[in-house]
Each structure stands twice: as structure tokens, then as C-alpha cells.
Amino acid sequence: MSDLNINPEKTKNILVEFLHTDIQAAGFHRAVVGLSGGIDSTVSCFLAVSALGKKNVLGIRMPYKTSSRESLDHAQLVIDQLGIESKTIEITPMVEPLIEKFPEMDAFRKGNIMARERMIVLYDQSAASKGLVIGTGNKTEIILGYTTLFGDSACALNPIGDLYKTQVRQLAGYLGVPDVIIQKPPSADLWKGQTDEGEMGITYESVDRLFFMLVEQGKTVDDCLAAGFTRDFIGSVFSRARRNRFKRALSPIASLSGKPLNEAIFDQEIR
């Protein structure tokens, strides 16, 4: 790619093959997707259906008491369009007992609790339905760390994690995702009126252009300044990416043996 534009047909084929191959290799045939009504979870669900067939995908809506009606309705649009099995599991009675114990709790802490409770639900339904949990985080969110560890970042495999947010939108249009989902402001719907861009104070379009220059094209900060990005903007993005670096790596394990685990050990043939 010379810019952020993707070949949507080729991209879809690669991601569908990825899902089909890796799920089968793990010994599974089904998938579980948490449907928020947003574009990322919708695209992941569309890809899962293409890879496994609609009978093998379970979509789950997990509203909290402050969740918008729009989010539920848009998730239902996806369920109806794809014809998949679905469940709606209210998380309010699950998270309220913890939230009520800490009256001073701010929206950030509450949002993390909701995100992690939703993943508890998804992994329980994964076990019940014998399907793997499909990830819904895009590359922009992953680099920025705009995600909850062991919450929305948790999954068995992620088909869209190497696509920037603007690229997810391109793929969504090709897949036939409803326009109302593609066009609405991205939101985790963790509290009333919350939007991703409003919370972060940056736009996905500008961040994606910066990341593409730095990551894919190997440009320097000086190159980005020459392209019109301000020092303050680059600094704020870098600060967020550095601060959340720990979210992009496995938890460090103190080494005593000096022998890291070699997974190839278990691929040996037993005669």
C-alpha cells in the first residue's frame, strides 16, 4: 500500500482465510462475537460469517443500563442482516454490586469494569457454544492503547488488528455493512454521550495518516512535520503510545531457567 487505501476484495479474502484456517487448526468450528453496534465488531462478525457460515457464529449484545438504544438497534441490524444466532445478556446486575461498593468511582473505572464483565460473558458463552472469541480491536486503537486489558482487548484471534480505523471503514463498505453503522461517530458506549474521538481529543483520520507514515512508510518525525503535522499533535500521540506500550505486549515473566519455552517441542512426532 502506498497510502491508507486498501484493496477490499483482497483484504477480505486474506482475513476470511485467516479466520477459517486458524479456527480449524485450533480444533473449533464456531465463533463468538460481542456486538456493540459499532463498525469494528460488525466487520469482525461479517468476516466470521464469511469464514464459518452463519450457523456457526453467535452474536452477543451486552447492554448496561446507560447503553444507548441506538447501539442495541444497530447490533440487531447486524444480527438480522447476517441471520446469525444471537443472545442479549444484560450486564447491569453483574457490575452494579462492585460499582456500588465504591461511591467515588469515576467513569474510567466503571468503563473498565463493564469491558471486563463483557469479556467474562463472551468467554463463558465461548465455552458453552464451543466457539472461539473473535477480536474486534483495530490497529489504531491497539497502538494508542485505547482498549481495556482483559476486556475488549481479549480474544482468541483478531481479524482486524492490522487494519487502521479508516481502513476498517473501507472494508465495511465493501462487505455491505449498513451505512448507519459506518457513518456514526465511533463510541465504546461506556457512558452517555461518550465518543472515542471526543475522549481522546484526536481524530482517527489524522492519527491514521500519522501512523501510516511512521509505521508503514518508515518516515521520521521531521518528515511528518514537513507533511503538516504539528509538534503538539505528534507529541500527544507519541505520549499516549508510549504510556500504553505495556498493553501491546505479553506480561513479562521473570526468567530463572534462561530457557524460554519453545512451542516446537510439542510438534514432535511421537512414535
Distance of CA 116 to the CA centre of its chain: 13
CA 135-81-52 angle, 5° bins: 50
Spatial distance between the Cα atoms of 96 and 100, rounded to a whole number of angstroms: 6
Instruction: Give the mean pLDDT of 169-187.
Output: 92
Spatial distance between the Cα atoms of 116 and 26, rounded to a whole number of angstroms: 24
Identify the H or E element spanning 66.
Answer: none
Q: What is the structure's pLDDT at 228?
A: 95
What is the band of 270 on the pLDDT scale with cuts at 50, 70, 90?
A: confident
Segments forming the whole domain that contains residue 25:
8-251
Identify the H or E element spanning 13.
Answer: helix 8-25
Diameter of the chain by CA atoms?
Answer: 63
Write the DSSP symbol of residue 261: -
The answer to whether position 256 is within a domain reads no
Q: What is the structure's pLDDT at 202?
A: 81
The pLDDT tens digits for 3-14 are: 899 999 999 999
The answer to whether position 107 is within a domain reads yes
Helical pair 165-175 and 204-211, crossing angle rounded to 10 deg? 110
Q: What is the structure's pLDDT at 197?
A: 63
For residue 61, which amino acid is it?
R
The answer to whether position 265 is within a domain reads no
Residue 182: CB atoms within 10 Å: 16
The answer to whether position 269 is within a domain reads no
The answer to whether position 231 is within a domain reads yes
Spatial distance between the Cα atoms of 223 and 235, rounded to a whole number of angstroms: 14
Spatial distance between the Cα atoms of 167 and 270, rounded to a whole number of angstroms: 45
The pLDDT tens digits for 216-267 are: 999 999 999 999 999 999 999 999 999 999 999 888 888 888 888 888 888 8
Task: Name the 3-class secondary structure at 265.
Answer: helix
The pLDDT tens digits for 16-44 are: 999 999 999 999 999 999 999 999 999 99
For residue 195, which amino acid is it?
T
Characterize the bridge pairing of strands 85-88 and 30-34.
unpaired
Split into its structural domains, the chain has a count of 1
Task: Name the 3-class secondary structure at 131.
Answer: strand
Task: Name the 3-class secondary structure at 162.
Answer: coil
The answer to whether position 226 is within a domain reads yes
Q: What is the structure's pLDDT at 1?
A: 45
| CATH code of 173's domain | 3.40.50.620
Q: Is the pLDDT of residue 180 over 70?
A: yes
Query: What pTM was computed for the model?
Result: 0.91
